[in-house]
Amino acid sequence: MRAMQIPSDHPLLLRIVDDLATCGWSQQNMFLPEALTLELAAECRKRAEEGELAPAAVGRGAAQEIREGIRGDHIQWLEPGEAKSSDCYLGLMDSLREALNRGLFLGLEDFECHFALYPPGAFYKRHVDRFHDDDRRMVSAVIYLNSSEWLPEHGGQLRMYLEGQEPYDVVPVGGRLVVFLSSEVPHEVLPASRERLSLTGWFRRRGNEPF
């Protein structure tokens, strides 16, 4: 599979930009082709079987610690050149980065993301994605790698706490993308009855840190 990039003025990307501008979040139910979703899911499971996914920590820097009472997922960060499927996804995200910069003038410089595998029963308590001491994360993006037949009763919803509204639950169906402003949308991951797979990432601007 060759790297996938689409024009930054593609209608799908422009819908995401418009949604972020008007309400701070966007849900696209069929963002990825099914074949790519399946390849990414297989890559995530392969890494898990080879022991490459590690329990995720909370906090950053020296303050990082594993706290299963807060989050229970296992992750591995993506780097370019590791797999054709992940390079393809990174190419799509770079197209979205260009669209966000063109439409919202966010000054996004890069995108970081990791595979996330939640074992049955694992969760991630309510939080926001931007750290108190690091303002680089601007826009969060989560793509789900589960079966297209995932049902609400399987659990694992992303619950977003939108200002002035009832909490909104996103069922983690394969190929579905959720994008939201990192500092403005508190959210949590609910426990699921089965293994839950995703790619979770952040578009980042240049920060205020000296390094």
Distances (CA, A) of 24 to 13, 17, 189, 194: 15, 9, 19, 30
| Number of Cα atoms under 13 Å in the Cβ half of residue 43 | 24
CATH code assigned to 12-205:
2.60.120.620
- Residue 206's pLDDT band, with cuts at 50, 70 and 90, is confident
Cα–Cα dist 82/66, whole Å:
26
Binning pLDDT at 50, 70 and 90, where does residue 68 land? low
pLDDT at 5: 76
Question: What pLDDT is stored for residue 134 in this prediction?
Answer: 74
Q: What tens digit of pLDDT does each residue of 151-187 get?
A: 999 999 999 999 999 999 999 999 999 999 999 999 9
Domain map (residue ranges) of the chain: 12-205
Q: Is the pLDDT of residue 201 over 50?
A: yes
